[in-house]
A and B are shown apart, each in its own frame.
Chain A
């Protein structure tokens, strides 16, 4: 049954492990998401959330396991522009000399020629994306001159311009103003209706209950995964945030 249906999963991560120089960051993690699902990724700092994102974008190699995106390998998913990643604010150099327009245009690079010279359709996609995050009047502004929320919207616009079917968002609500938070919430509903699959990490429990159909609790591995109403229980949350690391429980070889 699973073999027949494997293409119906947007994200299919099976027993993935990531280690950095022999230090385990994530082990035996599983995740399956379909079109139109929003999943919250919840865990402590250092629990492996960013590592999970890095594995799904192909930015780090997995040492074990398998990742399928739309039933295909990561390489094909990258070529198909299937995955868009929206970094957390600390993950980028906010002083880098590029404008809002430049950043959003980067969302189109993967489907452009080698010189990355924009076609009419790319320009239109960038315009539409910037309009959707309500930054049109700031489109030529350097990102160094934006507020945290405006910068977050810029990166969301980049993901929109990319027209990816899967959105990975690292702490989308951290450090943003109320206006941006409201706009992101509205966008989530639109994305869901468009059939996009969203995986977002967050520290805010209220956001999980509000947006997420599913929740993935991790602490170096999956602590619990399932429908938010069933899985997001105080017991599970406690064990996610209070649980000991696998090194302590099983010894370093695990």
Chain B
């Protein structure tokens, strides 16, 4: 009897939200975005580009605002400012004695501030809240097309140059020695980072998009010593987080972006504590194969 009640409850927990069109769309789009960010996440965590991810995702803000104001695809504006911020970081770093992490912090907060000022100045229907914190439930049809296009592009780029990018993250000097264009790979990874930030910000917003780009990879890194497995775990954990996050936000009336990232953080915490080999409580003996 109890069991029956529980199963009815679970069924309605899963099925009820699916009866709404906006929820189905949100779940699909957020899963796609999560998969792309999760895919990229393995590279970023191994390259040590967490701060770079934070910088790029914040720097796209003025681009999004300007694009909205001019009626252009927001991804275009975001992409230009994302790549521009990285170029500027590189330039300032090279031409001054200020340390890299300082330059990164300086440039991205500058861009972010510009974005906020622009929102307050440009009279339009830009919703600051949805840019900052995401709005997966209110995603428009043109946004869907852009997101699908960008996601496919990133996945194709990362797949075609997968081995080169692994080598670039692992041992760029060897890559250079055997005649591989390291500069190209550097900018390729940055391009993918900007594009992923652009699609990610719809789900969880500018403030939290960096979590989409680093947490799944970090979680996966604790669970495996194989790059392919790391990518798979990273993508799966990102998708699960998005789906669960949206469900929780539906049922408990929570901010969706925050809810998604919080689930990701909990999954990381779980791996941090219980990962067979690299967790705090090592269950290596229980799971001798990994």
Question: Which residues on A are within 8 Å of B, measured CB to CB?
Answer: 21, 54, 57-59, 75, 78-79, 81, 83-85, 87, 91-93, 96-99, 102, 106-107, 109-111, 114-116, 142, 144-145, 158, 162
Contact = CB atoms under 8 A, between A and B. Distances in A.
Given A87-B171, A98-B166, A106-B174, 11 more contacts: A54-B173, A83-B177, A85-B174, A87-B173, A92-B170, A96-B169, A109-B167, A110-B178, A114-B160, A116-B164, A145-B225
Contacts of B229: 97
Interface string B147-178: 00000000000001001101101111111111
B177 A58 contact: yes
Contacts of A58: 176-177
A193 to B, nearest CB: 24
Give the interface size bracket for B toward A.
20 to 34
Contacts of B175: 109
Nearest to B226: A97
Contacts of B172: 59
Contacts of B226: 97-99, 142
B103 to A, nearest CB: 14
B227 interface: yes
Nearest to B177: A57
The 8 closest A-B pairs by CB, nearest first: A110-B178, A142-B225, A78-B179, A116-B163, A57-B177, A79-B179, A97-B227, A59-B173
Contacts of B179: 75, 78-79, 81, 110
Contacts of B230: 97
Nearest to A76: B179
Contacts of A98: 166, 170, 226-227
B81 interface: no
A252 to B, nearest CB: 15
A77 to B, nearest CB: 9
Contacts of B171: 87, 92, 106
Residue with the highest number of chain A CB atoms closer than 10 Å, among B171, B178, B226: B178
